[in-house]
Amino acid sequence: MTRNLADADLPFLLAPSGRLRAAINLGNPVIAQRDRRGRPTGVSVELALVLADTIGMHAEFILYESGASVASGLCADRWDIAFLAVAPERAEHIRFTAPYLFIEGTCMVSNISPFMNFAQLDQDGVQIAVGEGAAYHHILARILKHATLRLAPTSAAAIDLFQTAQLDAAAGVRQTLAAAAPRMGDVRLLPDGFSRIGQAMAVPRDRPEAVFERVAQFLANRVGDGSVGRLLALFGQSAEVAGLP
Protein backbone atom coordinates (compact mmCIF):
# COMPACT_ATOMS: atom_id res chain seq x y z
CA MET A 1 0.00 0.00 0.00
CA THR A 2 1.31 3.48 -0.89
CA ARG A 3 2.45 5.40 2.17
CA ASN A 4 1.44 9.01 2.82
CA LEU A 5 3.50 11.65 1.02
CA ALA A 6 4.24 13.18 4.43
CA ASP A 7 6.40 10.14 5.28
CA ALA A 8 10.02 11.25 5.46
CA ASP A 9 11.33 9.36 2.44
CA LEU A 10 8.81 10.15 -0.29
CA PRO A 11 9.42 13.93 -0.56
CA PHE A 12 13.11 13.33 -1.19
CA LEU A 13 12.33 10.66 -3.76
CA LEU A 14 10.36 13.30 -5.63
CA ALA A 15 12.89 16.09 -5.08
CA PRO A 16 16.31 14.59 -4.22
CA SER A 17 17.99 18.00 -3.96
CA GLY A 18 15.83 18.94 -0.98
CA ARG A 19 13.96 21.66 -2.88
CA LEU A 20 11.04 21.17 -5.24
CA ARG A 21 12.18 22.32 -8.69
CA ALA A 22 9.05 23.22 -10.64
CA ALA A 23 9.23 23.77 -14.40
CA ILE A 24 6.95 26.66 -15.36
CA ASN A 25 5.88 26.98 -19.01
CA LEU A 26 5.45 30.69 -19.71
CA GLY A 27 4.49 29.85 -23.29
CA ASN A 28 0.99 28.91 -22.07
CA PRO A 29 -0.63 32.00 -20.48
CA VAL A 30 -3.57 29.98 -19.19
CA ILE A 31 -1.35 28.32 -16.59
CA ALA A 32 1.56 30.77 -16.15
CA GLN A 33 2.38 34.41 -16.74
CA ARG A 34 4.89 37.01 -15.60
CA ASP A 35 3.78 39.73 -13.20
CA ARG A 36 4.81 43.38 -13.57
CA ARG A 37 8.16 42.62 -11.95
CA GLY A 38 8.83 39.70 -14.29
CA ARG A 39 8.18 37.06 -11.66
CA PRO A 40 6.23 33.89 -12.50
CA THR A 41 2.62 33.76 -11.43
CA GLY A 42 -0.48 31.81 -12.34
CA VAL A 43 -2.25 28.52 -11.72
CA SER A 44 0.82 26.32 -12.12
CA VAL A 45 2.93 28.49 -9.84
CA GLU A 46 0.33 28.37 -7.08
CA LEU A 47 -0.12 24.62 -7.38
CA ALA A 48 3.65 24.14 -7.14
CA LEU A 49 3.76 26.30 -4.01
CA VAL A 50 1.00 24.28 -2.35
CA LEU A 51 2.67 20.98 -3.24
CA ALA A 52 6.01 22.23 -1.90
CA ASP A 53 4.34 23.25 1.35
CA THR A 54 2.59 19.88 1.56
CA ILE A 55 5.89 17.98 1.40
CA GLY A 56 7.77 20.47 3.58
CA MET A 57 10.10 21.90 0.95
CA HIS A 58 10.77 25.23 -0.69
CA ALA A 59 9.70 25.64 -4.33
CA GLU A 60 12.26 26.71 -6.91
CA PHE A 61 10.85 27.85 -10.25
CA ILE A 62 12.64 26.91 -13.46
CA LEU A 63 11.22 29.12 -16.22
CA TYR A 64 10.74 28.06 -19.83
CA GLU A 65 9.26 29.81 -22.85
CA SER A 66 7.72 26.69 -24.40
CA GLY A 67 6.50 23.21 -23.59
CA ALA A 68 9.17 21.76 -25.84
CA SER A 69 11.91 23.43 -23.80
CA VAL A 70 10.37 22.07 -20.59
CA ALA A 71 10.59 18.56 -22.01
CA SER A 72 14.20 19.18 -23.04
CA GLY A 73 15.01 20.45 -19.56
CA LEU A 74 14.22 17.06 -18.10
CA CYS A 75 17.12 15.55 -20.04
CA ALA A 76 19.43 17.89 -18.14
CA ASP A 77 17.80 16.94 -14.80
CA ARG A 78 16.61 20.50 -14.22
CA TRP A 79 13.16 19.87 -12.73
CA ASP A 80 11.19 17.56 -10.45
CA ILE A 81 7.65 18.48 -11.48
CA ALA A 82 6.25 20.29 -14.49
CA PHE A 83 2.94 21.53 -15.85
CA LEU A 84 2.58 20.43 -19.46
CA ALA A 85 0.14 19.53 -22.19
CA VAL A 86 -0.30 15.77 -22.36
CA ALA A 87 1.55 14.50 -25.44
CA PRO A 88 2.27 10.84 -26.25
CA GLU A 89 5.56 11.93 -27.83
CA ARG A 90 6.82 12.99 -24.39
CA ALA A 91 5.78 9.83 -22.55
CA GLU A 92 9.10 7.99 -22.87
CA HIS A 93 10.69 10.15 -20.16
CA ILE A 94 7.68 11.84 -18.53
CA ARG A 95 4.66 10.52 -16.63
CA PHE A 96 1.51 12.62 -16.83
CA THR A 97 -1.24 12.81 -14.24
CA ALA A 98 -4.85 12.99 -15.32
CA PRO A 99 -5.53 16.43 -16.84
CA TYR A 100 -6.69 19.21 -14.55
CA LEU A 101 -7.58 21.61 -17.39
CA PHE A 102 -8.55 21.39 -21.03
CA ILE A 103 -7.74 24.13 -23.50
CA GLU A 104 -8.54 24.44 -27.20
CA GLY A 105 -6.06 24.43 -30.04
CA THR A 106 -7.18 26.63 -32.93
CA CYS A 107 -5.86 28.89 -35.70
CA MET A 108 -5.54 32.57 -36.47
CA VAL A 109 -6.06 33.80 -40.03
CA SER A 110 -6.25 37.20 -41.69
CA ASN A 111 -9.64 38.88 -41.95
CA ILE A 112 -9.53 38.56 -45.74
CA SER A 113 -8.71 34.86 -45.60
CA PRO A 114 -11.21 32.58 -47.37
CA PHE A 115 -10.87 29.98 -44.58
CA MET A 116 -13.87 29.90 -42.26
CA ASN A 117 -13.12 26.74 -40.27
CA PHE A 118 -10.19 24.49 -39.49
CA ALA A 119 -11.08 21.71 -41.96
CA GLN A 120 -10.78 24.14 -44.85
CA LEU A 121 -7.11 24.76 -44.01
CA ASP A 122 -6.05 21.22 -44.85
CA GLN A 123 -5.31 21.87 -48.52
CA ASP A 124 -2.23 21.58 -50.70
CA GLY A 125 -0.24 24.82 -50.63
CA VAL A 126 -1.62 26.04 -47.29
CA GLN A 127 1.11 26.96 -44.78
CA ILE A 128 0.46 27.05 -41.04
CA ALA A 129 2.91 28.47 -38.49
CA VAL A 130 3.35 26.48 -35.28
CA GLY A 131 5.75 26.37 -32.35
CA GLU A 132 8.14 23.46 -32.81
CA GLY A 133 7.66 20.70 -30.25
CA ALA A 134 4.44 22.16 -28.81
CA ALA A 135 1.70 19.64 -28.06
CA TYR A 136 -0.39 21.06 -30.88
CA HIS A 137 2.58 20.74 -33.27
CA HIS A 138 2.47 16.99 -32.67
CA ILE A 139 -1.32 16.93 -33.00
CA LEU A 140 -1.30 18.85 -36.28
CA ALA A 141 1.48 16.65 -37.66
CA ARG A 142 -0.80 13.66 -37.09
CA ILE A 143 -4.06 15.06 -38.44
CA LEU A 144 -3.07 17.25 -41.38
CA LYS A 145 -2.92 15.44 -44.70
CA HIS A 146 -2.21 18.25 -47.17
CA ALA A 147 -1.29 21.55 -45.45
CA THR A 148 2.35 22.28 -44.58
CA LEU A 149 3.56 23.21 -41.11
CA ARG A 150 6.11 26.02 -40.84
CA LEU A 151 8.03 25.66 -37.59
CA ALA A 152 9.06 28.47 -35.24
CA PRO A 153 11.13 28.14 -32.02
CA THR A 154 8.19 29.04 -29.74
CA SER A 155 4.45 29.58 -29.96
CA ALA A 156 4.95 33.34 -29.72
CA ALA A 157 7.46 33.19 -32.57
CA ALA A 158 4.96 31.24 -34.65
CA ILE A 159 2.53 34.14 -34.44
CA ASP A 160 5.25 36.50 -35.63
CA LEU A 161 6.18 34.10 -38.44
CA PHE A 162 2.57 33.99 -39.58
CA GLN A 163 2.59 37.76 -39.93
CA THR A 164 6.06 38.38 -41.35
CA ALA A 165 5.97 35.51 -43.85
CA GLN A 166 2.31 36.15 -44.70
CA LEU A 167 1.35 32.55 -44.07
CA ASP A 168 -2.19 31.24 -44.22
CA ALA A 169 -2.59 30.63 -40.48
CA ALA A 170 -0.93 30.43 -37.08
CA ALA A 171 -1.82 27.54 -34.79
CA GLY A 172 -1.84 27.74 -31.01
CA VAL A 173 -3.83 27.90 -27.79
CA ARG A 174 -6.99 29.95 -28.30
CA GLN A 175 -6.24 32.23 -25.35
CA THR A 176 -2.69 32.91 -26.59
CA LEU A 177 -3.89 33.76 -30.08
CA ALA A 178 -6.71 35.94 -28.75
CA ALA A 179 -4.26 37.90 -26.58
CA ALA A 180 -1.98 38.49 -29.58
CA ALA A 181 -4.75 39.47 -32.00
CA PRO A 182 -5.06 43.17 -31.01
CA ARG A 183 -1.41 43.89 -31.84
CA MET A 184 -1.62 41.89 -35.06
CA GLY A 185 -4.28 44.10 -36.60
CA ASP A 186 -6.47 42.64 -39.33
CA VAL A 187 -6.81 39.07 -38.06
CA ARG A 188 -9.46 36.76 -36.64
CA LEU A 189 -9.59 33.41 -34.86
CA LEU A 190 -11.40 30.49 -36.41
CA PRO A 191 -14.61 29.65 -34.52
CA ASP A 192 -13.71 25.99 -34.19
CA GLY A 193 -10.57 24.19 -33.06
CA PHE A 194 -8.50 21.19 -34.01
CA SER A 195 -8.01 19.68 -30.58
CA ARG A 196 -9.02 19.71 -26.93
CA ILE A 197 -5.64 19.70 -25.18
CA GLY A 198 -5.31 18.28 -21.67
CA GLN A 199 -3.00 20.08 -19.24
CA ALA A 200 -1.47 17.87 -16.55
CA MET A 201 1.24 17.72 -13.95
CA ALA A 202 4.32 15.83 -15.07
CA VAL A 203 6.90 13.84 -13.13
CA PRO A 204 10.15 12.34 -14.45
CA ARG A 205 9.57 8.71 -15.32
CA ASP A 206 12.47 7.57 -13.13
CA ARG A 207 10.63 8.63 -9.95
CA PRO A 208 9.09 5.74 -7.96
CA GLU A 209 5.48 4.74 -8.58
CA ALA A 210 4.49 5.77 -5.05
CA VAL A 211 5.75 9.29 -5.67
CA PHE A 212 3.83 9.64 -8.92
CA GLU A 213 0.65 8.34 -7.27
CA ARG A 214 0.83 10.92 -4.51
CA VAL A 215 1.43 13.78 -6.96
CA ALA A 216 -1.54 12.58 -9.00
CA GLN A 217 -3.69 12.40 -5.87
CA PHE A 218 -2.55 15.87 -4.80
CA LEU A 219 -3.72 17.29 -8.13
CA ALA A 220 -7.00 15.37 -8.08
CA ASN A 221 -7.69 16.83 -4.64
CA ARG A 222 -7.06 20.38 -5.91
CA VAL A 223 -9.49 19.79 -8.76
CA GLY A 224 -12.06 18.20 -6.47
CA ASP A 225 -12.05 20.94 -3.83
CA GLY A 226 -12.45 23.71 -6.42
CA SER A 227 -8.94 25.14 -5.99
CA VAL A 228 -8.12 24.97 -9.70
CA GLY A 229 -11.29 26.81 -10.69
CA ARG A 230 -10.68 29.51 -8.09
CA LEU A 231 -7.11 29.98 -9.29
CA LEU A 232 -8.26 30.42 -12.88
CA ALA A 233 -10.67 33.11 -11.76
CA LEU A 234 -8.01 34.77 -9.60
CA PHE A 235 -5.65 35.13 -12.55
CA GLY A 236 -8.34 36.14 -15.02
CA GLN A 237 -8.04 33.02 -17.13
CA SER A 238 -10.71 30.82 -18.67
CA ALA A 239 -10.43 27.12 -19.38
CA GLU A 240 -12.41 23.94 -18.88
CA VAL A 241 -11.63 22.46 -15.48
CA ALA A 242 -11.34 18.68 -15.68
CA GLY A 243 -13.60 16.33 -13.78
CA LEU A 244 -12.22 14.08 -11.11
CA PRO A 245 -10.17 11.13 -12.45
Find how far residue 25's CA is from the centre of its chain: 6
Q: Is 13 exposed, middle or buried (0-12, 13-18, 19+ CB in 10 A)?
A: middle
**7: CB partners within 8 A, 6+ apart:** none
Rg (CA), the chain: 19
Instruction: Give start-end residues of each CATH 3.40.190.10 domain in the chain.
Output: 9-101+198-241, 102-195
Q: Is 39 exposed, middle or buried (0-12, 13-18, 19+ CB in 10 A)?
A: exposed
**200: helix, strand or coil:** strand
Structural contact between residues 45 and 81, judged by C-beta atoms closer than 8 angstroms: no
Structural contact between residues 97 and 81, judged by C-beta atoms closer than 8 angstroms: no
Averaged pLDDT, 195-222: 94
Check residue 90 and report its DSSP letter. G
Question: Which architecture characterizes domain 102-195 according to CATH?
Answer: 3-Layer(aba) Sandwich (3.40)
Higher pLDDT: 228 or 90? It is: 228
**21: CB partners within 8 A, 6+ apart:** 15, 60, 62, 78, 79, 80, 81
Task: Compute the distance between CA of residue 138 and CA of residue 121 in angstroms, rounded to an integer.
Answer: 17
Structural contact between residues 187 and 108, judged by C-beta atoms closer than 8 angstroms: yes
pLDDT value at position 223?
Answer: 96
**37: CB partners within 8 A, 6+ apart:** none
- Would you say residue 18 has pLDDT above 80? yes
pLDDT value at position 244?
Answer: 54
pLDDT value at position 8?
Answer: 65
Structural contact between residues 65 and 24, judged by C-beta atoms closer than 8 angstroms: no
pLDDT, tens digit (0-9, with 9 covering 90-100), for 106-156: 999 999 999 999 999 999 999 999 999 888 899 999 999 999 999 999 888
pLDDT value at position 49?
Answer: 97
> How high does pLDDT run on average in the chain?
91
Task: Compute the distance between CA of residue 223 and CA of residue 206 in angstroms, rounded to an integer.
Answer: 26
Q: Is 34 exposed, middle or buried (0-12, 13-18, 19+ CB in 10 A)?
A: middle
pLDDT, tens digit (0-9, with 9 covering 90-100), for 51-95: 999 999 999 999 998 888 898 888 778 899 999 999 888 888 899
Averaged pLDDT, 178-189: 92
pLDDT value at position 1?
Answer: 38
| Least trusted range by pLDDT, from 3-17, 89-103, 109-123, 182-196 | 3-17
Find how far residue 80's CA is from the centre of its chain: 16
Higher pLDDT: 184 or 151? It is: 151
Question: Which architecture characterizes domain 9-101+198-241 according to CATH?
Answer: 3-Layer(aba) Sandwich (3.40)
Averaged pLDDT, 176-191: 93
